[in-house]
Structure 1
Amino acid sequence: MIVTMMGTIAAVLTTSAMFPQAIRIIKTRDVHSISLLMYLANTFGIVFWLIYGVLLQELPIIVANSIAIIPASVILILKIVLGRNVKK
C-alpha cells in the first residue's frame, strides 16, 4: 500500500511538473532560457518510458507518461519553432 502510494505521488508530481512551464511559454512566447538538449532528452525519455510501460502492460506507467508527453512535446516544439524565430 505504501509503495503504491509513493509511486502514485511520484507519478502525479513528475507528470504535472512541466505543465506550468508549458503554460508560461505559451503565454509569454519566451523560450530563450529553455534548454533544447534538456527537452529533447526529456521528451525522448518519456517516449521510452511509455514504450516500456506498454511492453510491461503497466497501466500506471502508461497513463503517467501518456499525460507527461503532452507538455514535454509542447515545450520542445515551441522551443524549436520560437527559438528559430528569435535567431532571424
Structure 2
Amino acid sequence: MDTVSVIGGLATLCSTTSFVPQAWKVIRTRDTASISAGMYAVTVLGFSLWLTYGWLNGQWPLIVTNGICLLLSAFILVMKLLPKRQKEQVAEALDPAAG
C-alpha cells in the first residue's frame, strides 16, 4: 500500500469515527442543549454535497466515507431538532439500558 492510500485510509477512519462519540453521548444522555443546530445543518449539507460529488464521479471512497458521515451527523441534527418526548423514544430504542 502506498503512502497516499495510507493517508487516505487514516483520513477516512478519522472522518467516519469523529461523529460517533457525539452521537453516543446524545443517545446516553438525551441532552442536545449544547449542540449547534446551525453547525450540524451546514455539516449535513456539506456531507450531502460531497456524497453527491463522489456519486457523480463514481468515486467509492468519497461515497462511502461521506455517506457514513452524513448518516451520523444527520442523526445528531435530527436528535437536536426532535421534541424531548420523541428524542427520549429514539434514545430508548437505541440504548434501553440508559433510560
| Equivalences, count | 84
For the structure 1 residues 13 and 82, does the alpha-carbon distance in structure 2 shift closer, same or farther, using more than 3 Å as the test?
A: farther
TM-score, structure 1 as length reference? 0.89
Unaligned runs of 5+ in 2: 87-99
How far residue 66 of structure 1 moved from its aligned partner, in angstroms, is 1.3
How far residue 52 of structure 1 moved from its aligned partner, in angstroms, is 0.5
How far residue 67 of structure 1 moved from its aligned partner, in angstroms, is 1.1
1:48-67 CA-to-partner distances (Å, cap 9, x unmatched) read: 00000001100100111111
Unaligned runs of 5+ in 1: none
Match of 2:22, as an amino acid? Q
Q: Which runs of 4+ in 1 moved over 4 A?
A: none
d(CA) in 2 for partners of 1:12, 1:62:
14
Q: Map residues 3-22 of structure 1 onto 2, 5 A cutoff.
A: 3-22=4-23
Larger radius of gyration: 2
